[in-house]
Amino acid sequence: MTLDSTRTQVVVIGSGQAGLAVAFYLKRLGLEPGLDFIVVDRNDGTGGAWQHRWAALRIGSAHRINDLPGMDELGISFETADRQAPAKDVVADYYRQYEQFYGLRVQRPVDVTSVFNRGTELVVAVEGEGVASGHAEVLTDVVVNATGTWGAPFIPWYPGSDSFAGRHLHTTDYVAAEDFRDQSVVVVGGGTSAIGFLLELEEVARRLVWVTRRPVEFLDEGELNLEDGRRAVALQDEAARQGQALPSIVSGTGVPRTRRIQAAIDRGVLIEHEMFVSIESNGVRFANGAFAKADAIVWATGFRPELRHLAPLKLREKAGGVQVGDGAAWKDPRIFFAGYGPQASTIGANRAGRLIARQVVAQLSNL
């Protein structure tokens, strides 16, 4: 089934965890998928950003993956999934089953190029193989942006970045540890992705150096504490309400000290160094003059919200973010954000799906 120029009440952009959660509750509240609301996704397959993760990332070593609302009715759960299975494959399979079971009729691959006003109506411009004529416009009353962050990787600039003769790779570019055999690798970042790369590279790289902007807080509990999760959500929510750039989730939660991570600390693999101050052609230079040779720099430095397609609506604030309260843009109540701010992780995405769906239906009744 392909998408063409049409009219609908709601367009949900993105079919990752946040987008599917909103779609589930929109249907439960009486809206018909493919008619009253349309879900579009630019990827060929299911699974949201998870389908692009590296093959060695397993269910057991990934961030906790929360079940989608209503997933229990399918008889599947990430809690009981094979912990040794590739996370990308399991998530893609479960999301595919979920979409089919609830008849969400996700349109793909459909890329949203822009969202803009035409009079009193919102126009969602789309293109891609999933669009019948290649390009189309969907008129709608409400847009739910659930694009997440995977399409907007962030790599900070450091003096000499352009002079580096080796490879710069972001988390999105990482495929397999074997690609770095016998190389000197600098891994940048203080989250679980950086730590995962270090553990994978330990057996193949000639030399590993781990650098972080701030000391990593390891949690002795071994798993994410509920209070830590609430603190991270509160920090995200405050930033979103102020229209500020969003802080990272890990800065508010810390990293659980699992047995695997503790073992790596004990054998000297996870030794943090302060951030380097410049990059040279064959390595990185630290503030004290020390030098670390590098054939590759892996930037596990996170992402920014993917909002380029919303630029015509002029929602961004001078502080760098979009002012969002309870999932809705303060500048335009027709635009909702799922997976943004306090919802930008498995900590808050599912919970926000119900809230946003209810608000969307309320907005439609007002219109």
Please give the pLDDT value at position 303: 83
Phi-psi domain of 252 (left: phi exceeds 0; alpha: psi -120 through 50; beta: other)? alpha
CA 24 to CA 142: how far, in whole Å?
16
What is the arithmetic mean of pLDDT over 336-344? 70
pLDDT by residue (tens digit) across 116-163? Answer: 999 888 999 999 998 988 899 999 999 999 998 888 899 999 999 999
| Residue among 170, 162, 167 at smallest CA distance from 184 | 167
Tell me which of 146-155, 229-238, 333-342 is least confident: 229-238
- Torsion sign over Cα 267, 187, 349, 82: negative
Residue 162: C-alpha distances to residues 159, 213, 235, 279 (Å)? 8, 20, 34, 8
Q: Higher confidence at residue 367 or residue 30?
A: 30
Please give the pLDDT value at position 56: 83
pLDDT tier, 295 (very low <50, low <70, confident <90, very high otherwise): very high
Please give the pLDDT value at position 182: 97
pLDDT by residue (tens digit) across 167-218? Answer: 999 999 999 999 999 999 999 999 888 999 999 999 999 999 999 998 888 8
Contact 155, 177 (CB under 8 A): no
pLDDT by residue (tens digit) across 78-118? Answer: 999 999 999 999 999 999 999 999 999 999 999 999 999 99
Please give the pLDDT value at position 249: 52
Preceding omega of 109 cis (within 30 degrees of 0): yes
234: pLDDT strictly greater than 70: no
Tell me which of 31-35, 116-120, 180-184, 349-353 is least confident: 349-353
Please give the pLDDT value at position 167: 96
- Going through the chain in order, the beta strands assigned E by DSSP cover 6-7, 10-13, 37-40, 111-118, 121-127, 135-140, 142-145, 167-170, 184-188, 207-212, 218-219, 255-256, 272-274, 278-280, 283-285, 291-293, 296-299, 324-325, 328-329, 335-337
What residues have CB less than 8 Å from 89, skipping those under 6 apart?
none
- Helical segments of the chain, H only: 17-28, 87-102, 192-201, 226-242, 249-253, 259-266, 349-366
Please give the pLDDT value at position 111: 95
**Spans of all domains in the chain:** 6-151+303-366, 161-220+257-299
Please give the pLDDT value at position 228: 46
Contact 9, 141 (CB under 8 A): yes
| Tokens 């054998």 sit on residue | 267
SS3 call for 25: helix
Give the mean pLDDT of the chain. 87
pLDDT tier, 244 (very low <50, low <70, confident <90, very high otherwise): very low
CATH topology for the 161-220+257-299 domain: FAD/NAD(P)-binding domain (3.50.50)
Please give the pLDDT value at position 144: 97
Tell me which of 36-40, 48-52, 342-346 is least confident: 342-346
Please give the pLDDT value at position 336: 95
236: pLDDT strictly greater than 60: no
Please give the pLDDT value at position 323: 84
Please give the pLDDT value at position 161: 95
Please give the pLDDT value at position 239: 47
pLDDT tier, 240 (very low <50, low <70, confident <90, very high otherwise): very low
| Domain 6-151+303-366 coded CATH 3.40.50.300 | no
